[in-house]
Structure 1
């Protein structure tokens, strides 16, 4: 979150859709989907709601995990609300940040912008720090 190059993406699903974490200002996490492939579209055509929610969820979870002093590098979603403001077309940028955190839970907010900087969607969520090993831990 300090503007340095982000770590390699640990999420196979994010790699599948073509999204990756990119440098962000301190206190924020940015995830970019640089290309809107046909497989990611709904019938409008625009980004499918599941793609939009995936980007918002991922950027909030990462913000929790990158919080200074976070008890884990993995945070799982407890609840999430989202609002869709306009169809998402072209490259998309998700921005997430921590609103409040404790030793076990983390509350975040996020927004999704299109390539012109227009607001596509917003979200808020609560995440639980995952303290048990994950399959990614055994791959490292």
Structure 2
């Protein structure tokens, strides 16, 4: 992890659902959701698609902001596509990494694994570096 605050410190939503950033290999960001509470499930029951996409969006965005040459630690989603491969059950691990970056935009990829290491979902997205002040800046 970079010198930036952990992702969950920056994301009230990740704190709400009980996710935690965990140490990851260089160039990657990982967030673990150790428990799928009933409120986070769909009717199968499995992880709700919104939870899956939020985890993937979060790790990809953070991966963009952790690049050493990134102009900002904050990157906002321009577009994102996802593919659901199987229902997400049990503890989940989201992992994101940078595919390509320019001075203003960053292309990222991500995957979500279940507790058995099975692929639950994949995603790709484009993120724009946010150069204006954020609410995080006002807390300094």
TM-score range for the pair, normalised by the shorter chain length: over 0.9
C-alpha distance after superposition, 1:31-51 (max 9, x if no partner): 110110000000000000000
Give the deviation of 1:123 after TM superposition.
0.2
Checking the alignment, whether the CA contact within 8 Å between 1:9 and 1:21 is kept in structure 2 is no
CA distance in 2, matches of 1:137, 1:93: 29
1:9 Cα deviation (Å)?
2.1
Q: Which residue of 1 aligns with 2:90?
A: 90
Q: In 2, are the aligned partners of 1:105 and 1:127 still within 8 Å (CA)?
A: yes
Which SS does the other structure have where 1:64 is aligned? helix
Deviation (angstroms), 1:20: 1.7
Deviation at 1:55, TM superposition (A): 0.3
Q: Give ranges in structure 2 of 5+ residues lacking alignment.
A: none
Gap regions ≥5 residues in structure 1: none
Output the TM-score relative to the length of structure 2. 0.95
Aligned structure 1 segments of 4 or more residues deviating by more than 6 angstroms: none
Does the residue aligned with 2:116 lie in a helix, a strand or coil?
coil
What's the TM-score, normalizing by structure 1? 0.95
Q: What are the residue-to-residue correspondences of 1:114-129 with 2, within 5 Å?
A: 114-129=114-129
Q: How many residues align?
A: 138
